[in-house]
Amino acid sequence: MSHNILLTKKTRSANGEVYLTGSKSECNRALIIEALSNGKVRVENISDAADAVTLNSILKAGAGNSNADSGLKTQDLRLVNIGPAGTAMRFLTAYFTLQGEEVVLTGSERMKQRPIGILVDALRKLGAQIDYEENESYPPIRIKGNIKQATNSITIKGDISSQYITALLLIAAKLPLGLELHIEGELTSRPYVEMTLAMLQQAGIRHRWNDNVISIDRQEFRQTILPVEPDWSAASYWYAIAALADNADLFLHGLTQYSLQGDSVITELMANFGITSQFRDGGVHLVKEAKPVTRKIFDLKECPDLAQTIIVICAALNHEATFTGLETLKIKETDRIKALQNELGKMGVKLIEKGQTYKLDCSEKFIPERIFINTYDDHRMAMAFAPLALLISEVEIEDAKVVEKSYPAFWTDLEKVGFEVEDK
């Protein structure tokens, strides 16, 4: 049952140590690799993020995750319901084309509004049999396994979700003819693709990346362990807290300077706000220095999951920055652009869209005594706005459990560093 929480903070300081869950992005890739490896790959430090838990349970159960209330006529088919787990939807769409069964893959109502057509078209060109059960280009979809590969060469646009590209790369080595993936135009979220290829390489899968073509031959996985790093996306909220606090002394365990995760770029982004990252003692120590924010343009194309965090920080600090690279935000858990505009408006801040550029206008900003933040079923909305409790006396967050998608211990961890968290 959903409930709201009320955040308060008596002082504007933040001190303490935090142990972050494993990276959802890394874990979901690792779980698919493990499932495809026929027992050769084992995943360590599986994330307790809800998306990873969902994907792991489906893979371990051999896709049996039926939902009698779905209303779909499946007869003898397996019905796999991934709920709101977007990564699982994309990865499993590709994964099930290799399995020897027929499944219907569905999800939450919001998931049925998130497009899957680009990935389905690519898989169909390879030879997969996939049909739409309700609306063209959207889940639920019916997948017949045992792909009869027609070609190994496909083209996909680079400015769409990197999860489509990753889904294809993850299954490439198991395809009868391998895969030659041509990326059309500029590649969005490149670090996520690089993460996928690096993890495949750890598991013995070689690739070639020449210009805009990634090639993976048919080959076998090797015996290996894939350890999952702590989540840099989750770390970003602690950087936000450090940026909005008058003083901060925070230590995040387990994070390393050289990470596969693209969101580790938060260390560079937050240097603009006076937050220095000191890697020592098996983690990162966040040190705050008094520093005016001078950077005016933030290109978040390669780290869109950090967008809400950075935009809210800028708004809170009256920094009228411009943002680019936000193209994929409208098809996430919610339309994150519209959600940001709505919630920032509650303290008089405007996020103005001009083509593919977004600018903050803080000219009418005010600090209310109390603010209510709608989360739109989006974990990142809840966590990006939570640090405002350092500036606003009372911050009520709608539907507290939404953070379970990526960071279940978030509210508990806030309490450990001096935030008061009250159920409403």
Rounded CA separation 59/249 (Å): 40
344 within 8 A of 351, measured Cβ to Cβ: yes
Of 399, 387, 421, 423, the residue nearest 7 (C-alpha): 421
Asked if 281 is an active-site residue, the reply is: no
Query: For the purposes of burial, counting CB atoms within 10 Å of the CB of 107, is it exposed (0-12), middle (13-18) or buried (19 or more)?
Result: buried
Q: Which of 324, 376, 315, 321 is nearest to 346 (CA)?
A: 315
Q: How far apart are CA 344 and CA 58, in angstroms?
A: 38
List the catalytic residue out of 263, 305, 378, 413. 305
Residue in 355, 286, 300 with CA at minimum distance from that of residue 332 = 300
Q: Which residue is it, tokens 């360590």?
A: 44
Q: 176 to each of 124, 148, 165, how far by Cα in Å? A: 15, 8, 18
Q: Which residues are catalytic?
A: 305
